Every structure is written in C-alpha cells, then in structure tokens.
Amino acid sequence: MGQGLWRVARNQQLQQEGYSEQGYLTREQSRRMAASNISNANHRKQAQGGIDIYHLLKTRKSKEQEGFINLEMLPPELSFTILSYLNATDLCLASCVWQDLANDELLWQGLCKSTWGHCSIYNKNPPLGFSFRRLYMQLDEGSLTFNANPDEGVNYFMSKGILDDSPKEIAKFIFCTRTLNWKKLRIYLDERRDVLDDLVTLHNFRNQFLPNALREFFRHIHAPEERGEYLETLITKFSHRFCACNPDLMRELGLSPDAVYVLCYSLILLSIDLTSPHVKNKMSKREFIRNTRRAAQNISEDFVGHLYDNIYLIGHVAA
C-alpha cells in the first residue's frame, strides 16, 4: 500500500516538472540512439582520414557467405605472412587457388630451410631452372629413401646435387635435420665412423652441466638399446668433446676425458636405476656418491651429489 502511494506521488511530481510516462526512453530507443552515435562517430573518423573499423567489419560480415577472404586482394606482405604458416601439403592446395602467391620461391625456400637446415646446394649458385619447390620434393623423397635405406638415401641426395660427397657435409645435414629415422640413422653412423666424428665436433657443450650436455648429445645421436662397442665409442667421443669445450672447468675440477667417461657411464646406470619400473630398490644419493667416487677418486662429493640431483629431478640422460 505504501509503495503504491509513493508511485502516485512520484508521478504527480514528474508531471509538475513537465515529464510524462511517454517521455521515458525505452531500452530499444536507447539502443537505437547509441547505435546512431556510434555510426556518427565512425563517419567522423572516416572524414578525418582514420581507419573505419566498424565499416570494415560490417562489410566483412555481409560477405561471410562468400567464404575465405581473397588473399590477392590483400597487400603482398600480408598474403605471404599468412601463407608462411602453411605446411607443404596445404601450400600445394593453396596454389590451386592463388597460384602466383603460393608458388613464390621465398615460401618454398623457408619450408626447405626450416625442415632441412643445411644442404650443400644452399651455398652454391642455383643451376638454370632451379626451383625451391622442386628441391623440397627432392628433399622429402630423399628423406623417405634414407628412412628405408640410409645408403640409398645419401646416394640420392648426392645424385641430385643436394649434398657433396664429404663426411663433413653429410654430418651437417644430419645435425640440422629432424625428419630422419633415428634407428636408421644409428645404423648409418655405426657404419660411417668418419661421419660420426664430424657430427660430434658440431656439438658445442661450453658451460653446460654434464648431464644436460649428455642429453643434448643423445638427442642428436641416439644411444643404442644395449651396451656394446658402439655405446662405448659414443661415450668416448662425447667425453673428449666435452673436455675440449670446457678446458677451464676441467682444470678446476681436475677432470680428464677418462674421468668424464666414468661419470657418463655412472649417469646412464643411475638413469636406468631411477626410471626403470623393474628396479624396486632405487639407488640412494649416498650410494651413488660412494660408488662414483670409488671409480673416480679425485671428484668432489658435492659435484657428484649435483649429478644425482639432476638425474633425480630431470630424468634419464639418454631417453
């Protein structure tokens, strides 16, 4: 009752001040006025030479039924940026619509160098009729051939002039390529020790902690599944390379390539012990320090303890 009397009194007051119920704006009228104000503001921006975002969005919305925007209508820089995010398959499909844009040499050159970081042909004057799109197809074909038969794959690259017949060039190609099957690569490197030597020298372990350097090494050169002569060769080459990259650290810690070799084997065994579900009684930090210092007595206890912590927190060095 009290609220009803209050409304009556309020309406009388508004009528005395010149207002009426019809004078109130509805929500729909408010929206129309706001839209009108926005439209006017956009017209003012357009008159002032500014970017009419509202008009662009409205035009784009009215053309949604036409499909994806035509890249040929965009600035070339923007079109190339959009196409650079496509892989080779999608870029070939895009060339069916935008032939001139999608067949641009810069796009295919970027695809080649992002997948195969080093090829001998990159540093040569391109022959007559050279095309990076054709080169991509040849690199892809050669990689598939390598993953089936490494020797045939390397011979294919040489026959096409993509790689020079040099252990160093082959090592650089392997080091900068991630599409090669690691099992086939391991077989190839086991047979081509000259390529393996050059591949090891491409690694830079300067100022790296030993377990982290070993992980990086085994990411490029996968360790064999079983212990044997090849694993011993890998660890020996890694030990000498690690010492060559860190001469000051080796003098400070009093380490030699033989001592690093022992530490690497200890890290591999510790990795297996801590990560294998078949090992129930895991090696403790104290046991690892005792066993390692027994094999290499001049290594400090703190340094060996840091090695254990790294494997315990980060994981296997050859996973």
* Residues involved in catalysis: 226
Dist. CA 6–CA 285, nearest whole Å: 82
C-alpha–C-alpha distance, residues 195 and 56, integer Å: 58
Rounded Cα distance, 98 and 100, in Å? 6
- The DSSP call for residue 64 is G
HSE toward the beta carbon, residue 125, CA cutoff 13 A: 1
CA distance between the termini of the chain: 81
Q: DSSP assignment, residue 118? A: -
Sign of the CA dihedral with 191 first, then 194, 199, and 205 last: positive
What token pair was written down for 102? 């999608």
Strand partners, 184: none
